[in-house]
Homo-oligomer: A and B are copies of this chain.
Amino acid sequence: MILGILLSGRGSNFAAIAENVLTGKLPCEIGCVISNVSSAPGLERARYWGLNSYFLDPTAKDRVAYDAEVIKKLRAHNVDYVCLAGYMRLLGAEFVNAFPNQILNIHPSLLPAFPGLHAQRQALQHGVRFSGCTVHFVDTGLDSGPIILQAVVSVLPDDTEESLSARILKEEHRIYPEAIRLLCERRVQVEGRRVRILP
Contact A112–B130 (Cβ < 8 Å): no
Q: Please judge, given known A-B contacts A110-B113, A113-B112, A125-B193, whether A130 and B157 are in contact too, CB under 8 Å.
A: no
Contact B147–A128 (Cβ < 8 Å): yes
Number of copies: 2
A residues 94-138 touching B (CB-CB < 8 Å): 110-114, 124-130, 132
Interface CB pairs A-B, < 8 A, 21: A110-B110, A110-B113, A110-B130, A111-B113, A111-B128, A112-B114, A112-B126, A112-B128, A113-B113, A125-B193, A126-B147, A126-B194, A127-B146, A127-B147, A127-B193, A127-B195, A129-B147, A129-B149, A129-B150, A130-B150, A152-B152
A43: min CB distance to chain B, Å: 32
Tell which of A126, A129, A149 has the most Cβ of chain B within 10 Å. Answer: A129
A residues 171-199 touching B (CB-CB < 8 Å): 193-197
In addition to A112-B126, A124-B194, 19 A-B residue pairs with Cβ atoms within 8 Å of each other are A110-B128, A110-B130, A112-B113, A112-B114, A112-B128, A125-B193, A127-B146, A127-B193, A127-B194, A127-B195, A128-B147, A128-B150, A129-B147, A129-B149, A129-B150, A130-B132, A130-B150, A130-B152, A152-B152
Question: How far apart are the CA atoms of A110 and B195 in the complex, in Å?
Answer: 20
Question: How far apart are the CA atoms of A111 and B123 in the complex, in Å?
Answer: 11
Question: How far apart are the CA atoms of A57 and B5 in the complex, in Å?
Answer: 62
In the complex, residue of chain B having the shortest beta-carbon distance to the beta carbon of A127: B194
Contact B127–A157 (Cβ < 8 Å): no
